[in-house]
A and B are shown apart, each in its own frame.
Chain A
Amino acid sequence: MSDKGHASSRPFTSPIASVVVTVIAILWTVPTFGLVVTSFRKKEDILSTGWWTSFKNPGFTLENFRAILFESGGTVGEQGMIPFAINSLAITIPAVLLSVGLGLMAAYALAWIPFRFSDQVFYGLFALQGVPLQLSLLPLLTFFATGIQLFGHTIFPQLHIVGTLASVWLPHTMFGLPLVIYLLHNFVAALPREVMEAARVDGANHFETFRKIVLPLSVPAIASIAIFQFLWIWNDLLVALVFAGGTDDVAPLTLHLANLGGSLGSHWENVAPAALFSIIIPLIVFFSLQRYFVRGLLAGSVK
């Protein structure tokens, strides 16, 4: 950058700005920090004093974590918190794989295979991205139970997936696809035309072009959008409530946590470590892959 020396003339770059930024950064971190500290405190301390006092009278313990992970029955669940984490993974991994995998192929088809309604399909998908998923929840749930009827005609038979993990990851795949296709389309359509044409001249058809050229070149975009999808699905509550609400057997962490928060109210010795446990995986994903994540966000927003 040529203008490093002019830092003081930049808008807001002053001691005041440093103070403001520092204060906001602290304000934004303190609530999470409070949860972390609380989850290591003893039950009687949590009930009687605030977490900030524990630095004066330290007395930390791992007991809360042992209780939520390895104690059966009681408030946390028959099997502790780990099975819910496995449910979260078993919902998130298939949904991310399918939405990103099918999304990339669809993006390629819309960008590089000429066909008659290509533009209409693209705009249609873009419009569907704006449809609130609230509009789809109930009919989709009914469809899983009884098939699709429109104006009295069965146009899709029932799927026997109610109460299974598939009934949660399938909606996530469906709801995620329009945005994934749009973001990947931005990327795939921007690949150099010469490269694609060179491949065609060499005799590659769409299948070969996709596998040998588009797929390897798209790895950064795939990574960032996959992370984005991962966080979005892992952190979802609404879809989980509707499609996995009936049974603990397929409930993800967020759903279980929302129930805990509601039913236990002030049992912070359970709620705090459970909440920390549920955010630890997204935080690891976030901090280790932050750069890709930001790139994924930018792909769709900055023009």
Chain B
Amino acid sequence: MITFGSILSSSWPKIFQILSVIVIFFGFYGIAFAAGARIKGKKQNSLAIALFLVPALILVMTGLGIPAIQTFLESFKNADSSKWVGLANYSNAIKDPDIRLAFINTISWVVICPVIVTALGITLATMLNKMKREAFAKSLIFMPMAISFVGGSLIWNLMYAYQEPNHAQTGLVGQVMTWLHIDVKHLLLWSPWNNLFLMVVYIWGFTGFAMVILSAAIKGIPTEIEEAAQLDGATGIRLFRTITVPMVRTTIIVVLTTAMVGTLKLFDVIHTMTGGNFKTDVLSNRMFDENFVYLNYGRGSALAVLIFLGVIPITYYNIRSLRLERKH
């Protein structure tokens, strides 16, 4: 039996640590600001940059910049990074049937999920626009955004829970299949369709994001444009196709690319639901296993670099549009 008292006494050091971080942060910057306020003239620019920008840059460089370079170098070394092996990690990765499967699965994730999420998102956003009780329906669809993918995976594990066909089903999906007289299957073991059932978790979690973003964009369409189109006789699906979709094109691209990057890096769902077994492995999970289970750092790094290569076109596109936008 655990009491609140015992929990409190064992967590006290952690609570103390939270408080110390807060006190140190505000204490340091409190003093810095008090001192900085007295400094005038040219010196204040360099001091402000040193205190405002440099800490963030150091953290970003040590956390992302330098490690990325190291991983890149690591990917040309052997399992325990003791010698250089050239492109061997990459060529072995492509030859390995398990990794090839992870590759194919990742590609299907990146192709299927963003399209479904965006299509659902824009349909919902359009339908919900000015509907009664809009906010309530939106909250319900958006809610999974607040739930971790670990929590979401368990929620869907329960939905997919399987019992032998002649037993009472404990998963709702199996029960619905029984009601519809479809043979009940252990969905998470049923390759290759199990990949789709895993994608459902991501789609369930991410559609709310797409809907909210697209909904804001749709509300931003000038009423006059819609009214003019309506005077010309455009209604329903035609209005949607000729006005709504083109007017929110940039936002659609933002949602699509965000979802593509998200699925390319997706890890939690696979790790929690199947652990990459039953032919559901993806690059990101495989990379984790290579690095932290099989301890093959060279190959794990090569997979991380491959994930990065997938992100590069999207980052390039984003930087280009950001540049154009900043010029205006």
Q: Chain A interface (Cβ within 8 Å of chain B)? A: 1-4, 6-7, 9-14, 17-18, 20-22, 24-25, 28-32, 34-35, 38, 46-53, 69-72, 79-80, 82-83, 86-87, 89-90, 93-94, 97-98, 101-103, 105-106, 108-110, 113-115, 121, 123, 125-140, 143, 148, 150, 156, 165-166, 169-171, 173-175, 177-178, 181, 203, 205-208, 210-211, 231, 234-238, 241-242, 245, 254, 257-258, 261-262, 266, 268, 271-272, 275, 278-279, 282-283, 285-287, 290, 294, 297-298, 301-303
Contact = CB atoms under 8 A, between A and B. Distances in A.
Interface in B143-167: 143-151, 153-159, 161
Contacts of A150: 66, 69-70
Interface string B254-282: 11001001001101100110010000000
A278 to B, nearest CB: 6
Given A87-B14, A278-B151, A2 B157 contact: no
| 4 pairs of A and B residues whose beta carbons are closest in the complex | A174-B63, A130-B315, A235-B148, A207-B36
Contact of A11 (B67, B148, B237, B268): B237
B204 interface: yes
B255 A206 contact: no
Interface in B183-227: 204, 207-209, 212-213, 216-217, 220, 223, 226-227
A139 B216 contact: no
Contact of B48 (A11, A207, A302): A207
B45 to A, nearest CB: 6
B115 to A, nearest CB: 17
A148 B64 CA distance: 13
Contacts of A69: 2
Contacts of B258: 301
Given A28-B143, A135-B305, A258-B150, A6 B230 contact: yes
B170 A50 contact: yes
Contacts of B213: 297-298, 301-302
B62 A174 contact: yes
Given A140-B63, A210-B48, 5 more contacts: A14-B236, A126-B322, A130-B314, A130-B318, A136-B64
Given A140-B67, A148-B62, A301-B213, A135 B21 contact: no
Contacts of B147: 32, 235, 279, 282-283
Nearest to B174: A50
Given A46-B170, A109-B49, A205-B37, A238 B267 contact: yes
B116 interface: no
B140 A25 contact: yes
A115 B127 CA distance: 48
A272 B158 CA distance: 9
Contact of A205 (B40, B62, B128, B271): B40
Interface string B274-303: 010000000010011001100001001101
A104 to B, nearest CB: 9
B312 to A, nearest CB: 8
Place the interface of chain B in its size category. 35 or more
B171 to A, nearest CB: 7
A109 B44 CA distance: 12
20 contacts: A9-B235, A11-B244, A20-B127, A34-B172, A72-B1, A79-B2, A106-B57, A115-B45, A132-B308, A140-B63, A150-B69, A178-B60, A210-B33, A242-B288, A261-B272, A282-B148, A286-B145, A301-B254, A301-B258, A303-B254
Contact of B22 (A89, A97, A170, A177): A97
A142 B126 CA distance: 49
B175 interface: yes
Contacts of B78: none
Contacts of B44: 205-207
Contacts of A205: 36-37, 39-40, 44, 48
A17 B74 CA distance: 53
B290 to A, nearest CB: 10
Nearest to A261: B154
Contacts of A258: 150, 268, 271-272
Contact of A132 (B40, B60, B264): B264
B130 interface: yes
A29 B143 contact: yes
B36 A3 contact: no
A234 B212 CA distance: 21
Nearest to A174: B63
A98 B284 CA distance: 28
Contacts of B217: 302
Interface string B131-146: 1000001011111111
